[in-house]
């Protein structure tokens, strides 16, 4: 049979997900809220590195196809959207809580604190805040926590991309200081490679010492005064 050989056929581009809806933003705009900020965080479940929050305000007139939950996007496309958001948003900001802060106040409070700080860092006034998750930090303006918000609200999805890309870049930088842990590959999450590195080398200063397995590590007892 004839036809073009399979190897010579053009490859189909991977199908990108549909953008998260702007329903919440539009309804809030109808109620008079001009500057609606979306907020999300990245790194809550990691064993090392900071938790990073992103906050962003996007004009409804700005169209960014396929803007949705950062976890549904490839790393390359996240980077592309991140740069577009930085250019086209009314305002955008990130903030973090370092591992030692997470250990001191716990991960939930650290997430909320990073979110609060990211909104405070925005360069424009905010009328309303939409936060991913089931609980929101205290703000001076009305806010709403939206479970699954990074897929249900475009502005929260945008914040998830800012937080994820910023944190990934930080973990790549940390990899140069602690190359034995492979942070550039797993970004501090509990992969087999990461757990084996902790078992071999013990935790390093950017690990969260209140998280297992660090709090049970003999190396922690020697180097960090753990119980």
Q: Do 64 and 159 fall into the same domain?
A: yes
Over residues 56-77, the pLDDT tens digits come to: 999 999 999 999 999 999 999 9
Over residues 76-112, the pLDDT tens digits come to: 999 999 999 999 999 999 999 999 999 999 999 999 9
Q: How far apart are CA 172 and CA 10, in angstroms?
A: 34
* pTM for this model (two decimals): 0.88
| Residues 180, 219, 201: CA angle, nearest 5 degrees | 15
Residue with tokens 């209140």: 210
Q: Is the pLDDT of residue 159 over 90?
A: yes
Q: How far apart are CA 64 and CA 121, in angstroms?
A: 23
| Model pLDDT, residue 51 | 98
| For residues 157-168, average pLDDT | 98
Domain count, the chain: 2
Q: Do 125 and 46 fall into the same domain?
A: yes
| For residues 123-135, average pLDDT | 96
Identify the CATH number of the domain in which residue 30 sits: 3.30.420.10
Quick check: is 11 in a domain? no
Q: Do 162 and 189 fall into the same domain?
A: no
Q: How far apart are CA 168 and CA 82, in angstroms?
A: 12
Sign of CA dihedral 223, 217, 171, 117: negative
Average pLDDT, the chain: 91
Q: Do 50 and 97 fall into the same domain?
A: yes
Q: Is the pLDDT of residue 114 over 60?
A: yes
Residue 190 φ/ψ, nearest 5 degrees: -85, 65
Q: Is the pLDDT of residue 2 over 90?
A: no
Over residues 28-59, the pLDDT tens digits come to: 999 999 999 999 999 999 999 999 999 999 99
| Model pLDDT, residue 16 | 83
Q: Do 34 and 103 fall into the same domain?
A: yes
Q: Is the pLDDT of residue 138 over 50?
A: yes
The string of DSSP letters for 77-144 reads HHHHHHHHHHHHSSEEEEEEE-HHHHHHH-HHHHHHHHHHHHHHT-SS--SEEEEESS-----SS-EE
Quick check: is 4 in a domain? no
Quick check: is 185 in a domain? yes
Neighbours of 216 (CB within 10 A): 10
- For the chain, helix, strand, coil in percent to 5 are 45, 15, 40
Helices 23-30 and 154-177, packing angle to 10 deg: 120
| Model pLDDT, residue 215 | 78
Over residues 166-224, the pLDDT tens digits come to: 999 999 999 999 999 999 999 999 999 999 999 999 999 999 999 999 976 544 433 43
What's the distance, CA 100 to chain centroid? 19
The model's confidence at residue 6, banded by pLDDT at 50, 70 and 90, is very low
| Model pLDDT, residue 217 | 59
């Amino acid at each position: 049979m004839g036809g073009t050989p399979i190897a010579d056929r053009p490859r189909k581009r991977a199908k990108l997900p549909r953008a998260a809806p702007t329903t919440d933003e539009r309804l809030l705009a109808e109620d008079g809220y001009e500057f609606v900020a979306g907020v999300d965080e990245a790194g809550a479940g990691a064993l090392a590195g900071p938790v990073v929050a992103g906050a962003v305000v996007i004009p409804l007139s700005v169209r960014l196809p396929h803007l949705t939950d950062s976890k549904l996007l490839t790393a390359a496309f996240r980077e592309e959207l991140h740069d577009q958001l930085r250019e086209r948003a009314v305002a955008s900001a990130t903030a973090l809580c370092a591992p030692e802060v997470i250990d001191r106040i716990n991960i939930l409070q650290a997430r909320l604190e990073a979110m609060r700080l990211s909104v405070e860092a925005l360069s424009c006034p905010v009328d309303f805040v939409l936060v991913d998750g089931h609980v929101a930090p205290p703000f001076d303006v009305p806010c709403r926590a939206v479970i699954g918000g990074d897929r249900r609200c475009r502005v929260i999805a945008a914040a998830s991309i800012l937080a994820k890309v910023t944190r990934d870049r930080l973990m790549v930088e940390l990899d140069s200081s602690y190359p034995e842990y492979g942070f550039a590959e797993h970004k501090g999450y509990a992969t087999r490679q990461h757990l084996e590195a902790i078992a071999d080398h013990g935790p390093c200063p950017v690990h969260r010492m209140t998280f297992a397995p660090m709090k049970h590590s003999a190396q922690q007892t020697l180097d960090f005064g753990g119980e």
